[in-house]
Amino acid sequence: MSVDMNEALLKSVEVLPPLPDTVSKLRKYIDEAGLNIEIEKIAEIISADPLLTTKLLQLANSPFYGFTSEVKTISQVITLLGIGNIKNIVFADSIKSNFKIDVSPYGLDTQNFLSSCNEETTFIADWLGKEDKRLSHLLVPCVMLLRLGIIVFSNFLIQNKKDKEFLDKLQKAKFHNIAVVENEFLGVDHISFLGFLLHRWDFDEHLIEGICFAHTPHAASDEVKKISYALAIVNRIFSPYDGCSSFSIQAAIALIHEAKNSGVHFDLDNFISKLPEKAKKALAQKE
User: What is the per-residue pLDDT for 17?
Assistant: 64
pLDDT reading at 18 higher than 70 = no
Q: What is the pLDDT of residues 202-244, one digit of tens each?
A: 777 888 999 999 999 999 999 999 999 999 999 999 999 988 9
Name the burial class of residue 28, with classes exposed (0-12), middle (13-18) and buried (19+) by CB atoms within 10 angstroms of its CB: exposed
Query: Using an 8 Å Cβ cutoff, are 80 and 121 in contact?
Result: no
**CA-to-CA distance for 227 and 264, rounded, in angstroms?**
10
The terminus-to-terminus CA distance of the chain in angstroms comes to 44
User: What is the per-residue pLDDT for 68?
Assistant: 75
| Average pLDDT score, the chain | 87
Query: Using an 8 Å Cβ cutoff, are 168 and 134 in contact?
Result: no
User: What is the per-residue pLDDT for 37?
Assistant: 83
User: What is the per-residue pLDDT for 60?
Assistant: 81
Q: CA nearest 141: which of 212, 82, 192, 87?
A: 87
Q: What is the pLDDT of residues 154-196, one digit of tens each?
A: 989 998 999 999 999 999 999 988 999 999 999 999 999 988 8
User: What is the per-residue pLDDT for 90?
Assistant: 80
The angle subtended at Cα 196 by Cα 193 and Cα 197, nearest 5°, is 90
User: What is the per-residue pLDDT for 206?
Assistant: 86
pTM above 0.75, yes or no: yes
Sorted by where each starts, the structural domains of the chain and their CATH numbers stand as 9-101+108-285 (1.10.3210.10)
